[in-house]
Structure 1
Amino acid sequence: MKTTLLGIQHLLAMYAGAVLVPLIVGGAIGLTPTQLTYLVSVDIMMCGIATLLQIMTNKYFGIGLPVVLGCTFTAVSPMIAIGSSFGLSAIYGSVIASGVIIVIISGFFGKLVKFFPPVVTGSVVTIIGITLIPVAITNMGGGQGAADFGSLHNILLSFGTLAFIVLVYRFSTGFLRAIAILIGMAAGTVAAIFMGVVDFTPIQEASYFHLTKPFFIAMPSFHWQPILTMTIVAMVSLVESTGVYFALGDICDEKIEQKNLAKGYRSEGLASVIGGIFNAFPYTTFSQNVGLVQMSGVKSRKVLVITAGMLISLGFLPKVAALAIVIPNAVLGGAMVAMFGMVISQGIKMLSTVVVGSQDNAMIIACSVGIGLGVSVVPELFAKLPQGLQLLTSNGIVAGSVTAISLNIIFNMLPKRKRKKAVVLTEQEA
């Protein structure tokens, strides 16, 4: 019984993050309520499958630590951009292809980690959070194109939900604090019911049980630009996961070696391939569940196996998935501000360790975050470029990531002596 309760704790801690990604992406690309219900169902199921792939270790797959996998927020903006430019099928093609690439390079990706130090990953995480905030604010008003956008009841619901989350986070501890966003979304939805703005049609129309089908929403199509974009996103996610692996290894007193990392990377790539086949998303480790492991002191993988089993079971129950569909956009918006704001906070925390005393790192952060934010706000800057390049250049996360990686090579990886010589020559020429 205790093990089951601990499994439920992990389920609740990751549930809000797991359902937000399909709700955001599905809403942005115009899925019908039926498709959105399926998307949430299959996403929950794939979270369970992806978690099992990491827990059940063997010679080739699985990190073998008590870890939970869920949809990565890193991929939200790129997937929306891909869907807008190339269509829904290209999203799944890029997810599958990037997953295959990760499986192939998993053996030596550990050597590529040197290109993703904290100054790069911190900048990328910060950019991700910043570029997602407009999505949250749009939902606070009622959603893109809503007839009642900015109405009083939407403002009250969104800011009320955000305030409730802040209060729960401030005055609770432990597990309740860990699920503050989930509690806030539930409270906001209850308030919306009393205000008469919740539509229960998706729940009524959803079936009690269904079997997951490959390519139910769309068949994949493959284009090099979306594939390159999602591969960069996947690599950034792997770097984040690496930090989680080492944190869990420290908690569980297990030494993490390069072969362990390779198996973990391979599982994440395989999870993305399976997710794409079933029209879901790429997956990564959820850091909030690491906090639960540390807080509870329970390091057994059996607990996470139970969590994975619950997630897989919920994937067969569309009516449960439809509960997430009826959450008003304004309530989602309030929760998104808190969640995406925490992403920004995490990025700033990562950068705080590298910017003090280093003007080089300060310049890397300034340019990469500036380019990432600027391109997100004014994507038409590159409207004159060929359409194939626009997906790469007009996506703030990709543009910021490429900038951060390139500048890190210039400032931190090129030999210092050569850089000084170049400066002297320039002064002589002047």
Structure 2
Amino acid sequence: MSEPTPTARPSRTINQDPDAMPPLGKAVPLGLQHIMAMFAGNVTPPIIIAGVIGATTGEQIFLIQVALFVAGVSTLVQTMGMGPFGARLPIVQGTSFGFLPVALPLAKAFGLPAVLGASLVAGLLQILLGACLKRIRHWFSPVVTGIVVLLIGITLMPVGLKYAAGGVGSDDFASPTNLGLALFVLTVTITAHQFGRGFLKAASVLVGLVSGYLVAIALGMVDFDLVTDSTWFALPRPFAYGMEFSFTAILGMALIMFVVGLETIGNISAITMGGAGRHAKDKELSGGVMADGLATSFAALFNTLPNTAYAQNVGLVTLTGVVSRHVVTIGGLLLIAMGLFPKLGGLVAAMPHAVLGGAGIVMFGMIASAGVKIIKECELDQRAMLIIAVSLSLGIGLPAVDEIANTMPGQLGLLLKSGLVPAAVAALVLDAILPGKPGRQATQEHTMAANAESAKANP
């Protein structure tokens, strides 16, 4: 009986290689696709914080401008690298929603300067976490990382549907027009992805977003007032609101920083596994987390909220398979241009939430799928199933029962509301203490083998 023919390893395409550069005519639209996918998430937190501090229309435009500028600069650090900083992967940085549950009450109690001071310190602590990550990487086994990525996707799914309904607080929330527009974008995106070839397939989300934007304009759903009110050119100003340091604010932001660090580890793992089909290298994880912290401190200097790696763009990479970091570098340059030329940012900001929601539905689902793929890397024995069961129960159940978080004191209640925090802690603790965990040496050997395999694929 003849030996079975080994399965040939697929050839590495330009889509799967982080260091490859597609032709400029394709790279620019692909970079724009990344920006349109994350744009609403990046400008919404500064709009919310502007309402809390009673900002004027001019101040709101300024806060949007600096959020775009900081996101662009921070994205370049991730994609191009700066010494030990940066994963050198297609990671888009943007204003973090994760800090909002803590930042909003702090802004009300102490003012925006205290939030910015706490963000500066939290970013420095995250840099320290990234620098030490190699020594503690054995804490983040596939079951732990996979659970975090899976829950990121599950947590974002309602966000995509709320966008599809028109955005929470809109007068026509869940109207047939909004839902129909989101369904149109979703249909176009799926059709372009499944039946398109080459560039059309890779740019399926951009095709869906542009198509939906044009339909929204035809239906009279687009308000261009923000474009009209914005100036043509403006330089971002650092320290416009000053900076103060409060122990209470620093403690709250530091706790959330650790969770955001876990999210970044999960996002990087999802990119390499879902897009490139390999495990993340130590230097990619460490550099990515350090760049995340640097971006948060840099954001504080420029008057905006902490930055983080954007999960929706991870979903985009997983969906399209385009892992070129240079594509996202172009996206970072576009973000900087929008920060320097506010009218450009206003043009994208005018896109209705329903259009973004149609694309978000599939992208956020792809993040959860990447989490499942990571979990499959471990042996799904009774031990692993128990860790998954407890973590998912906490991660999905706690956000659905606000009364539990409301009975807890201060910051603990805020952390429980996210669901991701207790789930990640439960996964880390259970994986560390339950008997039967593969030895640390075996984990390190597995990581070294994965890194060696990746090095061969990327000579």
TM bucket normalised to smaller:
0.7 to 0.9
Contact persistence 1:369–1:400 (CA under 8 A): yes
Give the conservation status (yes or no) of the 8 Å contact 1:118–1:351: yes
The residue that corresponds to 2:7 in the other structure is none
Q: Aligned equivalents of 1:101 and 1:117: distance in 2? A: 23
Q: Give 1:185's aligned residue.
A: 209
1:112 to 1:82, Cα distance in 2 relative to 1, 3 A? same
Structure 2: distance between partners of 1:283 and 1:345: 21
1:284 aligned partner: 309
Q: Percent identity?
A: 28
What letter corresponds to residue 149 of structure 2 in structure 1?
Answer: V
Match of 1:50 in 2: 74
Equivalent in the alignment of 1:421: none
Give SS of 2:182's match. helix
**Other-structure match for 1:363:** 386
- Superposed, which structure 2 residues align to 1:106-255 within 5 Å? 106-216=130-240, 222-241=249-268
Q: Does 1:69 align with 2:94?
A: no
1 CA distance for matches of 2:342 and 2:256? 31
Q: Cα deviation per residue 1:83-139 (whole Å; 9 max; x = unaligned)? A: 444338376455433320122233321111111112111111111221222222222
* Alpha-carbon distance in structure 2 between the residues aligned to 1:118 and 1:171: 33
Matches within 5 A, 1:310-329: 310-329=334-353
Q: 1:387 is matched by which residue type in structure 2?
A: G
Structure 1 residues 312 and 118: CA distance shift in structure 2, 3 A: same
| Deviation of 1:274 (Å) | 0.9
Gaps of 5+ in 1: 417-430
Aligned partner of 2:70: which letter? Answer: M
Take 1:159 and 1:293, find their aligned partners in 2: how far apart are those partners?
20
- Quote the residue 2:430 is aligned against: 407
Matched-pair contact (CA < 8 Å) for 1:46–1:280: no
Q: Distance in 1 between matches of 2:82 and 2:349?
A: 37
Which string of whole-angstrom CA distances, capped at 9 and with x for unpartnered residues, describes residues 181-205 of structure 1?
2322222121111111211111111
State whether residues 140 and 334 of structure 1, in contact with CA within 8 Å, keep that contact through their aligned partners in structure 2. yes
| Cross-structure match for 2:398 | 375
**SS at 2:340's partner residue?**
coil
Q: Using the alignment, how far apart are the partners of 1:351 and 1:218 within structure 2?
A: 44
SS in 1 for 2:99: helix
Structure 2 unmatched ranges of 5 or more: 1-20, 440-459
Aligned residue in 2 for 1:271 = 295
State the distance in 2 between where 1:148 and 1:333 align. 15
Distance 1:407 1:321, change over 3 A: same
- The answer to whether the Cα contact below 8 Å between 1:143 and 1:149 also exists between their aligned partners in 2 is yes
Task: Give the whole-Å Cα distance in 2 for the aligned partners of 1:127 and 1:272.
Answer: 23
Aligned partners of 2:48 and 2:42: how far apart in 1? Answer: 10
The alpha-carbon distance between structure 1 residues 9 and 411, as it changes in their structure 2 partners (threshold 3 A), is farther
Residue of structure 2 in register with 1:420 after alignment: none
Query: 1:82 & 1:180 partners in 2: Cα distance?
Result: 36
Question: Is the deviation greater in 29-38 or in 5-14?
Answer: 29-38
Q: Which moved more, 1:188-197 or 1:95-104?
A: 95-104
Q: Which moved more, 1:52-61 or 1:232-241?
A: 52-61
Displacement of 1:272? 2.3
Given the superposition, is the C-alpha separation of residues 382 and 324 from structure 1 closer, same or farther in structure 2, using an over 3 Å criterion? same
Q: Return the letter of the residue paired with 2:40.
A: L
Q: Given that residues 157 and 361 in structure 2 are in contact (C-alpha distance below 8 angstroms), is that contact kept between their aligned partners in structure 1?
A: yes
Q: Are the counterparts in 2 of residues 248 and 290 from structure 1 also a CA contact under 8 Å?
A: yes
Q: Deviations over 1:23-45 (max 9, x none)?
A: 44346556577556545543443
